[in-house]
Amino acid sequence: MDSKHSVPGRGADPVLDSGLVRAIGIDIGGTKVAAAVVGELGELIAIDRRATPAGDGEAIIDLVIRMIRELSEEHDVAVAGVAAPGFIDVTQSLVYYAPNISWRNQPLRHRLETRLTGMELTVDNDANAAGWAEFRFGAGRMVSDMTMLTIGTGVGGAVVVGDRLLRGGFGSAGEIGHMRVVPGGLPCGCGARGCLEQYGAGRALLRMANEIADAGGIGLPLAAARAEAGGLDGHSVGRLIADDDPGALAALRELGSWIGQGCAAIGAILDPQLFVIGGGVAAAGERLLGPIREAYLAHVPARGYHPEPAFVTAELVNDAGAVGAADLARVRAETLGAAAGL
Amino acid sequence: MDSKHSVPGRGADPVLDSGLVRAIGIDIGGTKVAAAVVGELGELIAIDRRATPAGDGEAIIDLVIRMIRELSEEHDVAVAGVAAPGFIDVTQSLVYYAPNISWRNQPLRHRLETRLTGMELTVDNDANAAGWAEFRFGAGRMVSDMTMLTIGTGVGGAVVVGDRLLRGGFGSAGEIGHMRVVPGGLPCGCGARGCLEQYGAGRALLRMANEIADAGGIGLPLAAARAEAGGLDGHSVGRLIADDDPGALAALRELGSWIGQGCAAIGAILDPQLFVIGGGVAAAGERLLGPIREAYLAHVPARGYHPEPAFVTAELVNDAGAVGAADLARVRAETLGAAAGL
């Protein structure tokens, strides 16, 4: 169901309406495209959500243009950021490759700018945009160095170092889910083996839960749920976790352990003050954070000889990608403006 | 043997002498302490090397103060950077822990500043300082994002992202040698297991070379060298590598393969344009870079869907730590000066 509305109670604030810069953020997701008008403080001024024309790259571009046009007619906005899945080039213009969308070497920024006269566009990776929102307006707002892992079907990543989003030399930094954790391990959709997301993502949780169910024992409620539903899905495992079912918690602990081990390796390189865990599984809260911290401490190099990071769950759940994309576009426009002496 | 001299042919350049800022850089190594006066272009204006009073932390501090005093009497320098092994805090003041020196929570910067009136001090990790020198004046000078691995007894690391040295939220980023590459692998001096430096450092090369020697076959020349010298050391293995001995090259290839696999994992997070390989083993040049590249490409996620980094050996071999420490101190003083409106 599509929805479009101004956010109640927003937009009438005299400070927010006093000329501070607003930006549009678009998040192209697998099921929906979210477009938001976002203020400097991360506040949602308007939000529009439409179903993604899945698999049809041209229809997605048409939809994004339509949504930006409609929002910019109603709101005074001159910059827009688009968050897309996949690898984005370092000039934030080109989508090298987007899984699930028929894009390869797609000049997305140029395609949009030619049809949106006067609108300044940027393109970012969707996990980076969501992580940036978390850094600016969520769990990461008090630190300078933050690493976010978004645990969904895969493991998405976003890295902030010294108050800046880490984009990398070619634009595809922060692909934490594809850090190898097991030599010769499980094959990954990326073509490599042993990637973290094969051990620490939603699919791995289901695999472990199914294995525990099949092995009986503490997995009996899991097995019952499996028999009842004809197979365990994320919803049923999530419900069993919320009920503190021992089998489901064992599967969650194994996932958390892999995430914690991954964070120990990441920490040796990035040394963040904070790890933020996002995505659907993060709803498990301390049931997940506990095993992550435990595994991190068991595997961190030189434990006790330097400060350890904190582990928390994400605070922004809805529309973080759109909020982050808008803020990145605004920050970029301001930086370019400052560099040009404006 | 201690040595102290002004570098011939330097210091008389009218441009270099026209008021450009110079800084002192100190590198506290395991066998020697190097102190240099360094210009803005990375040029060595004077260099002083003394034997390290190994294991005597207080004597090291006395020596560093003496060397800075002597150089600052002869040269107009107001800032100095000290590169030390171990974990440095994020304010660049405190050495949390330095292996081989009896320092733990040593307030090095304060200790030095109280005895060096008028001198502005900073402290950096030694691998970070050497990597920064490589980035500014060596192999990394044309890129914005560089990762350096220094292969010695261990694997040192330095990371530059977006033209800035990555220090991390607590000051100990870039500990690449302690990224885990094998779950439950070989024990490491850091207390963890399976760290990259147990597979990709000089000690691992010797272990592999000795194993190949013991197994005979293509290791016959290795075995002969081992029998002759009563054991293989770095020098003898290095000589056999330079002679293209098949057994020694096999050991080097295994080391290179681990480094390349590590770089694939690092690349997923940092996405550098360039990997620089430094340290003694880097003298093997293409004999080492070839296996590194091959392993990197065999393990990189989503190969072919984004640009790949280059792999080169370090250009700066001597005194890179002192040059980098001086430049970091100078850059920091300029940044603080600019922030203060100076």
- Note whether A175 contacts B309, CB cutoff 8 Å: no
**In chain B, what residues touch A300 (CB-CB under 8 Å)?**
192
- Note whether A270 contacts B306, CB cutoff 8 Å: no
Distance, in Å, from the CA atom of A166 to the CA atom of B249, rounded to the nearest integer, reads 37
Output the pLDDT for position B16. 44
* Interhelix angle B220-229/B246-270, nearest 10 degrees: 100
Higher pLDDT, B278 or A100: B278
Least CB–CB distance from B168: residue in A175, A272, A305: A272
B13 to chain A, closest Cα gap in Å: 33
Structural domain span for residue A296: 142-313
Q: How many degrees, rounded to 5, is the angle at CA A36 between CA A34 and CA A41? A: 135
**In chain B, what residues touch A97 (CB-CB under 8 Å)?**
302, 305-306
Identify the residue whose tokens are 């996002």. Answer: A278
Structure tokens at A190: 């990326």
**In chain B, what residues touch A190 (CB-CB under 8 Å)?**
301-302
Interface size between A and B, measured as CB pairs under 8 A: 172
In a domain, A187, yes or no: yes
- Note whether B306 contacts A157, CB cutoff 8 Å: no
- Confidence band for B11, pLDDT divided at 50, 70 and 90: very low
- Note whether B161 contacts A168, CB cutoff 8 Å: yes
Q: Which percentage of chain B shows pLDDT scores above 70?
A: 94
**In chain A, what residues touch B157 (CB-CB under 8 Å)?**
269
A207 to chain B, closest Cα gap in Å: 20
In a domain, A66, yes or no: yes
Q: Does residue A149 sit in the same domain as residue A287? A: yes
Q: Averaged over B91-116, what is the pLDDT?
A: 91
Output the pLDDT for position B12. 45
B127 to chain A, closest Cα gap in Å: 13
Q: CA of A128: which chain B residue's CA is closest?
A: B269
**In chain A, what residues touch B299 (CB-CB under 8 Å)?**
180, 192-193
Q: CA of B128: which chain A residue's CA is closest?
A: A269
B247 to chain A, closest Cα gap in Å: 24
- Confidence band for B18, pLDDT divided at 50, 70 and 90: very low
Identify the residue whose tokens are 């994004």. Answer: A64
Q: Are the C-beta atoms of residues A33 and A49 closer than 8 Å to each other?
A: yes
B303 to chain A, closest Cα gap in Å: 8
- Note whether A271 contacts B175, CB cutoff 8 Å: yes
Q: Does residue B161 sit in the same domain as residue B217? A: yes
Per DSSP bridges, beta strands A79-84 and A120-125 are: parallel
Q: Does residue B307 sit in the same domain as residue B179? A: yes
SS3 per residue for B76-138: CCCEEEEEECCEECCCCCCEEEECCCCEEEECHHHHHHHHCCCCEEEEEEHHHHHHHHHHHHC
**In chain A, what residues touch B146 (CB-CB under 8 Å)?**
169
In a domain, A168, yes or no: yes
Q: Averaged over B210-224, what is the pLDDT?
A: 87
- Confidence band for B101, pLDDT divided at 50, 70 and 90: confident
Q: Averaged over B33-59, what is the pLDDT?
A: 95
Q: pLDDT digits over B148-177, tens only?
A: 999 998 999 999 999 999 999 999 999 999
Distance, in Å, from the CA atom of A35 to the CA atom of A322, rounded to the nearest integer, reads 6
Domain boundary among B72, B102, B131: B131
Q: CB neighbours of B336 closer than 8 A, spacing ≥ 6?
A: none
Q: Does residue B60 sit in the same domain as residue B196? A: no
Identify the residue whose tokens are 């169901």. Answer: A1
In a domain, B327, yes or no: no
Q: Does residue A123 sit in the same domain as residue A180? A: no
Q: What is the DSSP letter of A219?
A: G
Q: pLDDT digits over B105-140, tens only?
A: 999 999 999 999 999 999 999 999 999 999 999 999
Least CB–CB distance from A190: residue in B170, B190, B301: B301
In a domain, A137, yes or no: no
In a domain, B337, yes or no: no
Q: Which amino acid is it at A302?
A: A
Structure tokens at A334: 């301001």
Q: Does residue B161 sit in the same domain as residue B286? A: yes
Complex prediction ipTM = 0.91
Distance, in Å, from the CA atom of A22 to the CA atom of A39, rounded to the nearest integer, reads 5
The ranges of chain A with pLDDT < 50 are 1, 9-18
In this prediction the pTM is 0.92
- Confidence band for B321, pLDDT divided at 50, 70 and 90: very high
For the cut 70, the answer to whether the pLDDT of residue B33 exceeds it is: yes
Q: Does residue B209 sit in the same domain as residue B239? A: yes
Q: Does residue A83 sit in the same domain as residue A165? A: no
Q: CA of B196: which chain A residue's CA is closest?
A: A265
C-alpha pair distances (Å), A270 with each of B81, B135, B161: 23, 18, 11
Structure tokens at B126: 């030694």
Identify the residue whose tokens are 């064992």. Answer: A250
- Note whether A269 contacts B268, CB cutoff 8 Å: no
**In chain B, what residues touch A311 (CB-CB under 8 Å)?**
none
Total of domains in chain A: 2
**What are the CB-based long-range contacts (under 8 Å, 24+) for B333-337?**
B333/B21, B333/B23, B333/B78, B333/B79, B333/B120, B334/B21
In a domain, A329, yes or no: yes
Burial class (CB in 10 A: 0-12, 13-18, 19+), B151: buried
- Note whether B309 contacts A169, CB cutoff 8 Å: yes
For residue A297, count other CB atoms closer than 10 A to its CB.
13
Output the pLDDT for position B338. 76
For residue A65, count other CB atoms closer than 10 A to its CB.
17
Q: Averaged over B310-328, what is the pLDDT?
A: 96
Q: Averaged over B186-191, what is the pLDDT?
A: 94
Output the pLDDT for position A324. 98
Q: Does residue B34 sit in the same domain as residue B106? A: yes
Q: Does residue B157 sit in the same domain as residue B298? A: yes
CATH label of the domain that carries residue B77: 3.30.420.40
Cα four-point dihedral sign A55, A57, A58, A62:
positive
Q: Does residue B106 sit in the same domain as residue B75? A: yes
Average pLDDT over all residues of chain B: 91
Least CB–CB distance from A269: residue in B188, B269, B299: B269
**CA B255 to chain CA centroid, nearest Å:** 18
- Note whether A87 contacts B302, CB cutoff 8 Å: yes
Distance, in Å, from the CA atom of B232 to the CA atom of A22, rounded to the nearest integer, reads 66
Q: Which amino acid is it at B252?
A: L
**In chain B, what residues touch A264 (CB-CB under 8 Å)?**
180, 192
- Note whether B265 contacts A180, CB cutoff 8 Å: yes
Q: Does residue B214 sit in the same domain as residue B251? A: yes
Output the pLDDT for position B3. 60
Output the pLDDT for position B114. 96
In a domain, A257, yes or no: yes
For the cut 80, the answer to whether the pLDDT of residue B297 exceeds it is: yes
